[in-house]
Amino acid sequence: MRQKIVAGNWKMNNTLQEGIELAKGVNEILKANAPKCKVILGTPFIHLTEVVKTVDSKLISVSAENCADKEKGAFTGEVSAAMVKSTGAEYVILGHSERREYYNETPEILKAKVDLALANGLKVIFCIGESLAQREANEQNAVVKAELEGSVFHLSAEQFANIVIAYEPIWAIGTGKTATSDQAEEIHAYIRSVVADKYGKAVADNTSILYGGSCKGSNAPELFSKPDIDGGLIGGASLKAGDFYDIIKAWN
Ligand code: PEP
């Protein structure tokens, strides 16, 4: 059966020292209150090694927020999937709307990143989601389907087992506007049906589909009560251990 997951995405927040303190804080809370879901901390590259050392790997997995679309070599400033893996991180977030929008990451670039991540033994949290204009034009289903087709549907079913999907409506990210639980469930069920059409029902039933976009302790229980919502990808509310735990405990 598919995993329930709460994953944090710290984005470009926290110095190394602040990040270690935050990871310690989450770890301490979870040591005292065993989580009923998989918990992942998505951190900037420079935090990965220390956060891996700081947390109990039985309670918390660690994720990068990006990796390069090239294997290795003369790409100044880039960080490869192999480098991410060598820190002890298990996951990488790819396809986040901020990367697509501000760093011009195209479906082809993301496809290359996905392939390199999987080839290096990382699992991928692959983000998809529509803009406000696309939602208003009722294009959300076509958008998320095209994003899957463009970057992950070339994978074999065996490879696809290492993909977690995060549905994140761009209009809900960092805006305080959350999709209603019914709106989110409707598109999560659609995403699962698209995965089923491509890989079959068994694969679709085993695929975790997370919701992201202003998820917090107050709305997580309602969102997570929906049958096709398997947890959350959390930005702002992952930056304080207590706020993040308020979401994790929605699975209790
Ligand atoms: C995100 O960027 O992945 C996200 C969901 O952000 P927030 O929770 O702050 O909306």
The 10s digit of each residue's pLDDT in 109-123 is 999 999 999 999 999
The 10s digit of each residue's pLDDT in 192-213 is 999 999 999 999 999 999 999 9
What residues act catalytically? 96, 168
CA of 89 to the centre of ligand 1 (A): 20
Confidence label for 179 from pLDDT (cuts 50, 70 and 90):
confident
Please check whether residue 29 is in contact with residue 241, taking contact to mean a CB–CB distance below 8 angstroms.
yes
> 95 CB under 6 A from ligand 1?
no
HEC assignment per residue over 26-41: HHHHHHHCCCCCEEEE
Burial string for 133-144 (b: 16+ CB within 10 Å, else e) reads ebbeeeebbebb
CA of 74 to the centre of ligand 1 (A): 32
Residue whose Cα lies nearest atom 1 of ligand 1: it is 235
Percent of the chain at pLDDT > 90 equals 97
Predicted confidence (pLDDT) at residue 18 exceeds the cutoff of 90? yes
The 10s digit of each residue's pLDDT in 217-233 is 999 999 999 999 999 99
Please check whether residue 54 is in contact with residue 18, taking contact to mean a CB–CB distance below 8 angstroms.
no
pLDDT confidence of residue 164:
98
Mean pLDDT of 154-164: 98
> 8 CB under 6 A from ligand 1?
no
> 129 CB under 6 A from ligand 1?
no
Give me the count of residues in the chain: 252
Of the residues 43, 168, 229, which should be mutated to test ligand 1's pocket, given the most ligand atoms within 8 Å of the CB?
168
Q: Would you call 7 helix, strand, or coil by DSSP? A: strand
Predicted confidence (pLDDT) at residue 176 exceeds the cutoff of 90? no
> 42 CB under 6 A from ligand 1?
no
Q: What is the mean pLDDT of the chain?
A: 97
The 10s digit of each residue's pLDDT in 46-70 is 999 999 999 999 999 999 999 999 9
Confidence label for 177 from pLDDT (cuts 50, 70 and 90):
confident
CA of 15 to the centre of ligand 1 (A): 19
Mean pLDDT of 73-81: 98
